[in-house]
């Protein structure tokens, strides 16, 4: 699935205002210490802000990335990439599988995704899933205001994902927080519209059509001395195979 250059520009705008990637890289290394986990496969490795530093920490690091622009960046940084949508055929077995903000909440996608991810693990290996939706966090509360039906549906599927993981082994959970900081209200709206849309034009338009509600929430709850601050909660689930 190729992505437009606009997507990368908007993404970089968001990246310049958040500590998310640094926080998540640290959290992943904390869960998968490189002296214990030598080989990892990163499904949906992205444009490199987490995967490039991660690739330098493990003896064997393989990225799977379906987006050609992202895959090109990774290759230019000497990362071996399978430029394909996962699930795909992989005969090698790994100490750990990482999926950091790359799992879809659509059942026809997450069911085969999890089953196949678990299959490429060595016995005793870890599947590390980083996902977005916390409950009662700032993002969920903003979503309740602008897109309530999708919040309920999303929550149902997130619970389904957790039950599938639980059925496959022992799970440990943790939450890490990242912040998005902007001086300017408009920059915060723009950054949040990127988070909501993931680069999808229609979703971006929908988010911006709710601008008044978003601005009210930002002015009421997210104003700080610097400008505006939005905290995101990331759920990290470490599944150790039975």
Query: What residues make contact with ligand SAM under the rule CB under 6 A?
Result: 21, 43-46, 49-50, 64-67, 70, 85-86, 100-102
C-beta closer to ligand SAM: residue 7 or 228? 7
Which residues have C-beta within 8 Å of that of residue 198, sequence separation ≥ 6?
Answer: none
C-beta closer to ligand SAM: residue 87 or 169? 87
Determine the Cα–Cα distance for residues 91 and 80; give it in Å rounded to an integer.
15
SS3 content of the chain, % helix, strand, coil (to 5): 45, 25, 30
Cβ count near 225 (within 10 Å):
5
C-beta closer to ligand SAM: residue 48 or 125? 48
Least Å distance, CB 209 to ligand SAM, is 23
Least Å distance, CB 167 to ligand SAM, is 21
C-beta closer to ligand SAM: residue 43 or 214? 43
With the C-alpha atoms ordered 143, 145, 150, 152, is the resulting torsion angle positive or negative?
A: positive
Least Å distance, CB 43 to ligand SAM, is 6
Note if the bond before 154 is cis, omega within 30 degrees. no
Least Å distance, CB 24 to ligand SAM, is 6
Which residues have C-beta within 8 Å of that of residue 200, sequence separation ≥ 6?
Answer: none
Determine the Cα–Cα distance for residues 45 and 102; give it in Å rounded to an integer.
8
Determine the Cα–Cα distance for residues 218 and 235; give it in Å rounded to an integer.
23
C-beta closer to ligand SAM: residue 66 or 197? 66
Least Å distance, CB 147 to ligand SAM, is 18
186 touches 215 (CB < 8 A): no
Determine the Cα–Cα distance for residues 47 and 65; give it in Å rounded to an integer.
9
Determine the Cα–Cα distance for residues 68 and 60; give it in Å rounded to an integer.
22
Extract the runs of DSSP E, i.e. beta strands, from 133-188.
169-182
C-beta closer to ligand SAM: residue 62 or 188? 62
Least Å distance, CB 126 to ligand SAM, is 16
Least Å distance, CB 156 to ligand SAM, is 20
C-beta closer to ligand SAM: residue 54 or 239? 54
């Amino acid at each position: 699935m190729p992505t437009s250059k606009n997507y990368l520009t908007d993404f970089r705008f968001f990246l310049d205002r958040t500590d998310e990637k640094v926080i998540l890289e640290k959290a992943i290394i904390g869960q998968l210490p490189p002296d214990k986990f030598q080989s990892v496969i990163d499904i949906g490795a992205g444009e490199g802000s987490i995967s490039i530093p991660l690739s330098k920490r493990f003896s064997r690091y393989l990225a799977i990335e379906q987006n050609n622009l992202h895959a090109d960046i990774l290759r230019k940084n000497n990362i071996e990439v399978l430029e394909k949508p996962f699930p795909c055929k992989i005969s090698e077995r790994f100490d750990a599988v990482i999926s950091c903000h790359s799992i879809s909440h659509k059942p026809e996608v997450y069911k085969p995704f999890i089953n196949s991810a678990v299959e490429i693990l060595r016995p005793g290996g870890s599947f590390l899933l980083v996902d977005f939706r916390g409950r009662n966090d700032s993002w969920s509360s903003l979503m309740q205001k602008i897109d309530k039906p999708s919040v309920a549906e999303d929550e149902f599927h997130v619970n389904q994902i957790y039950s599938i993981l639980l059925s496959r082994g022992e799970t440990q959970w943790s939450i890490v927080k990242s912040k998005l900081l902007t001086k300017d209200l408009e920059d915060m709206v723009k950054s949040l519209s990127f988070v909501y849309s993931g680069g999808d034009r229609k979703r971006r338009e929908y988010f911006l059509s709710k601008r008044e509600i978003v601005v009210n929430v930002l002015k009421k709850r997210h104003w700080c001395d610097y400008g505006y601050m939005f905290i995101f909660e990331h759920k990290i689930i470490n599944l150790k195979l039975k």
